[in-house]
Amino acid sequence: MPADLEKSRGAAAAALADVAHEPGAAKPDPIVVVDNITRQFGGLKAVDVGHLEIQRGVITALIGPNGAGKTTFFNLLTGFDTPDTGERYLNGKSLKRVAAYKVAKLGMVRTFQLTKVLSKLTVLENMRLGATSQLGERFWAGPLAFLWSGQEKANTERARELLRRFKLDAKENDFAGSLSGGQRKLLEMARALMVEPELVMLDEPMAGVNPALKQSLLGHVKSLRDEGMTVLFVEHDMDMVRDISDWVVVMAAGAVIAEGPPHSIMSDQRVIDAYLGAHHDTDISDLDPEEILAEAEAEIEAEKEGNA
């Protein structure tokens, strides 16, 4: 790990050193505070979070078995869904009745998976949309069009700068749909940065990414923290959680059941029980790499025999 990255991880760990390893623990400098948020779908309480604080300037992972309520909670935080009860605050300001695009203007953005429609736009067009859709485009129409064109120029410049940073500049005129899984993830992240956010929320940043690009993606996420941004991500890839998170929040059956630094979370009995209870396919214990290799080889052999 380069010295500057190590330094910022050290600072993040120091900020959290005195925080209790308990659900709802108070943080020294929370950017987000959640109180009694619930969301019900029919008879199912998908989210029921009593109190949660997200520390500023650190990388927090949100993990939990399938159906734990992570995505629903993400949507509630960013205003893409409305809680039945409860309050959430960004920098001390209540987000009740704040529209999703305004939440982005206040500094909280989330990544979106590339939809079918967005796949048919070029990489650069996707980036420009990252800025406009969050601004509320209509404002720039009509008599203010001259202002809009100035804004558009600035947006294009920022988009190109970000594409260079994520090494996607050679692809600016390619359709987004032609990018590889990993390049799509980079584009999703770059697009979120168009609004110069304080808090970046990543939805499964490692899904569909090949091992070669994983390292580069991890580096990009760490560099967001390096620049003072706060990162909150939902992820099933436990290697990523272990490698880059300063703090881990665990959800199960809609509630937060554990919080703490990755090393203590991975050995927490409540967490292990929640995963095992859900028959989740991610094994969070430290598996022996040789054992995995031997299993994989046996599987390949079995397949070969089956095909013979």
Interacting residues toward ligand ATP by CB under 6 A: 41, 44, 46, 64, 66-72
Q: CB under 8 Å to 169, separation ≥6 — which residues?
A: 160, 163
Find the shortest distance in angstroms from Cβ 47 to ligand ATP: 7
Whichever of 164 and 270 has its CB closer to ligand ATP, that residue is 270
Whichever of 41 and 146 has its CB closer to ligand ATP, that residue is 41
Whichever of 8 and 72 has its CB closer to ligand ATP, that residue is 72
Whichever of 71 and 133 has its CB closer to ligand ATP, that residue is 71
Find the shortest distance in angstroms from Cβ 52 to ligand ATP: 15
Q: Where are the alpha helices (DSSP H) in 17-114?
A: 70-78, 100-105
Contact present, 255 and 86 (Cβ < 8 Å):
no
Residue whose C-alpha is closest to residue 203's, from 181, 233, 243, 237: 233
Find the shortest distance in angstroms from Cβ 76 to ligand ATP: 9
Contact present, 270 and 257 (Cβ < 8 Å):
yes
Whichever of 75 and 134 has its CB closer to ligand ATP, that residue is 75
Find the shortest distance in angstroms from Cβ 302 to ligand ATP: 29
Pairing verdict, β 108-110 and 199-203: parallel
- Residue 268 has what DSSP assignment? -
Name the phi and psi angles at 119, rounded to 5: -65, -25
Whichever of 71 and 132 has its CB closer to ligand ATP, that residue is 71
Find the shortest distance in angstroms from Cβ 62 to ligand ATP: 9
The SS3 of residue 199 is strand
Find the shortest distance in angstroms from Cβ 91 to ligand ATP: 25
Type of residue found at 260: G
Q: Which residues pair with 87 in a beta bridge?
A: 35
What is the C-alpha separation between 49 and 64, in angstroms, rounded? 14
